[in-house]
Amino acid sequence: MTHRSRQSVWPRLFLAAAIAIPITPARIAVAEDVGENKSDLIRNLLPTVVNITVRKDESGPTSAANAAAQGADVSPIKTFVGSGFIIDPSGQIVTNYHVVQDAFEITVTFSDGGRAPGHVLSASRLADIALVKVDVDHPLPAAHWGNSDLLQVGDQVFAAGNPFGIGLSVSAGIVSGLNRDIQNSPYDDLIQTDATINHGNSGGPLFNMQGDVIGVDSTIISPTTGSSGIGFAIPSNSAHFVIDQLRTYGWVRPAWIGVKVQTVTGEIAEALGLPQARGSIISWVMADGPAAKAGLAIGDIIIRYDGTVPSDERALLRDIAHTPVGDTITLSVRRNGEDRDVLIPVEAWPRNQWEARDAPTPVLRPKIVIPPDLGLSLSAISDGEKTNLGLDKGLNGVLVKGVSPGSDPARRGLSSGDVILRVQNTPVSTPADVQSGIDAARAGKKDFVLMLVLPKVRDVIGPKWFVLRLNTADG
């Protein structure tokens, strides 16, 4: 089963000091130095990694049916977590598209605990890459792109992310395989690793031992919702290409020659009487496209691209897509047993055709109106009620009589029977006191208000602080 984590991703590294071999004191010192170097490297990279929390409105017929079946008000506003990494000191962040898809609110948490709201600048659904921006008043530490083409099976890698939403975590492992095709897109070229990947790490970076980003954690294959040691990352060269295109043009703008191809399999080679299975056979040529103008035809077999031999049709399509628009490429083509070179000036993929297959769903910014009272129905507490509500002698509060379904207080766990003791650390004893505290926080242009609440149902003794949203979802 393939899982793309909305909460998701990876790795596990064995330090040299843990290797069980006979060693002299000198060898112990070397092993410890290697471990310390890794610790220093990881510590320096952590500030470039972020946690991403998103809110999505999943209201609809299914949501309503579930709520009815449970006999309760179930909020359609859901929270999901993922990961990302900073690529520009101005606040540009890379993550997976599926992390932020359909989100109306994005919150980025940095390694030092600081937070900032984010918004999607642009994205590619097909590549599963999104570019998120946060507005900050100081430069942020940015990660460096590495060259994923240099990776080899067995290379050590490590990653940082937000597995299961528990917070920034580091793990490590090795590259288990390259150029994996798991049918997510026609261009799959994924890095496989045995590093631990879980929901919550999606969008996080996969680092090499030089501290460069060589992959973007994206997908796991597992019979359960947890990691089974088979995880995948988008190679940095592919991700970097997509990000550069998004930053420059607002869409991927791949190069295009207007052909559809298939890998020449052993069966195809035998059917055609070819001595070996090699190249990609053309199954369709778009009218008036660059390939048609250059004379390519259905049945031609593309053997080489600019002197190199692509491993399969996915590699050929990637090579073409990554070619700078306007450049001329040389395709070595076999037709009727004879090879010839064809020069083709590549063009930009027609945008309307590309967006028909890769137009990401727009970032949603619904007009969620937060009422002045936050959706809380309140009443004063008489002296006779205090004992039943668990209020100590001399302690005052305000009783929550009701909470609007789907409201922020409901989503955060407030319910009828709870008692509000303080608003912004100021004791309250009447509904007017609570409203006054809410109004004062709004007047101070705060996004949130803090309330000390004595829950009706308590897992542990004593009250609990709740932070409630004051502003609308779209600011």
Positions marked catalytic? 98, 128, 202
Token representation of residue 316: 């050929």
For residue 131, the number of C-alpha atoms closer than 13 Å in the C-beta half-sphere is 23
Cα 416 to its chain centre, rounded Å, is 36
Write the DSSP symbol of residue 18.
Answer: G
Cα radius of gyration rounded to whole Å, the chain: 28
Strands (DSSP E) found in 251-305: 255-256, 259-263, 280-285, 301-305
Q: Which of 51, 47, 61 is nearest to 106 (CA)?
A: 51
H-assigned helices in 46-158: 61-70, 97-100
Write the DSSP symbol of residue 377.
Answer: E
What are the phi and psi torsion angles at 466 (to 5°)? -120, 140
Q: Are 132 and 82 in contact (CB under 8 A)?
A: no
DSSP β-bridge partners for residue 281: 262, 301
Token representation of residue 354: 């590309």
Q: Which of 87, 98, 76, 93 is nearest to 7 (CA)?
A: 98
Which H/E stretch holds residue 279?
A: none
- Taking the alpha carbons at both ends of the chain, their separation in whole angstroms is 39
Q: How far apart are CA 268 and CA 84, in angstroms?
A: 42
Q: Are 32 and 26 in contact (CB under 8 A)?
A: no
Cβ neighbours of 421 (radius 10 Å) = 19
Please state whether 288 falls in left (phi above 0), alpha (psi between -120 and 50) or beta.
left
Q: Which of 219, 220, 212 is nearest to 240 (CA)?
A: 212
Which H/E stretch holds residue 7?
A: none
Token representation of residue 255: 């190069």
In angstroms, the Cα distances linking 409 to 67, 77, 406 are 18, 12, 8
DSSP β-bridge partners for residue 466: 451
Contacts of 289 (CB under 8 A, 6+ apart): 256, 257, 258, 259, 347
